[in-house]
Structure 1
Amino acid sequence: MEIKVLDPFKDGKTLWLGLDNPGMVRKVFQMVTPETVGSKHLMAGLTIFEPGEASSVHNHPESEELNIVIRGSGEVISGDEKRAFKQNDYMFIPEGVYHQHVNTGTEPLWLLWAYTPQGSLPKN
């Protein structure tokens, strides 16, 4: 067994999503993937949203998702439903449910995400 201790800012695979969509820009640090640590079942990482930024509306068709709010606040939207969240809150998103994360606060939103089984990130 090889246990890994990871720093998202040094060890993660860093990418930007939403650069072509104003209001949907966020920086993603992929931490737990087959490529980064050899994971077989889990995907996890950290996404940072600046105030006013949001993810695209997306889903993970065959994966359950867990989000933990490390810093900041916002809303998670699914269809007509909006639920506010704040630092230290957890969100569970069942497989296949379309959702969007929005930073409605005044500081960066740091959202830890994990889903299993592995799937792909939103395209934008």
Structure 2
Amino acid sequence: MEVKVIKTFKEAKQIWLGLEQEGHRRKVFRAVDEEQIGAKNMVAGVTIFEPGERCAAHSHPGSEEIDFVISGGCLAIDVTNNKQIRMEKNDFMWIPDGVEHIHYNDTEEPLVLLWCYAPPGQLPTK
């Protein structure tokens, strides 16, 4: 194995989620996983949410997640504990194993969100 640079918008696996449900569409660029580069202990990528878009409530069973806002902002919703948290550019968020959460771009700008969870788990399907 060796160090690898992944060109996010050229080489990462592009996954468009939520196309069938209005307001749930987002562009996922999964750059780090076993399939892409042989990573066995983590999964990471970038998701872009246009204004008004969000993900469905989900968790990554058996995994902890961190998120980092590259640009834009969002309302992060901790569904499990019924809390809402404002995230802005340069903010990190830690999500414990099993906690259901939603990212909702309630701003006028695109949200670019870096995410990583370990150990690897399933990407949300909605």
Compute the TM-score of the two structures, normalised by the length of structure 2.
0.96
**SS, match of residue 10 in structure 1:** helix
Deviant stretches of 4+, over 3 Å: none
Give, in whole Å, the separation in 1 of the partners of 2:63 and 2:10: 27
Q: Deviations over 1:73-114 (max 9, x none)?
A: 011111321000100000000011000000011111000000
Aligned to 1:9: 9
Give, in whole Å, the separation in 2 of the partners of 1:75 and 1:5: 31
Give, in whole Å, the separation in 2 of the partners of 1:113 and 1:95: 14
Give, in whole Å, the separation in 2 of the partners of 1:96 and 1:20: 26
**Deviation of the 1:37 alpha carbon:** 0.4
Aligned to 2:20: 20
Give, in whole Å, the separation in 2 of the partners of 1:11 and 1:34: 14
Aligned to 2:72: 72
- Unaligned stretches of 5+ residues in structure 2: none
The Cα RMSD (Å) is 0.7
Aligned to 1:115: 117
Q: 1:92 aligns with which of 69, 91, 94?
A: 94
One-letter amino acid of the structure 2 residue matched with residue 23 of structure 1: G
Query: Number of paired residues?
Result: 124
Give, in whole Å, the separation in 2 of the partners of 1:61 and 1:39: 19
**SS, match of residue 55 in structure 2:** coil
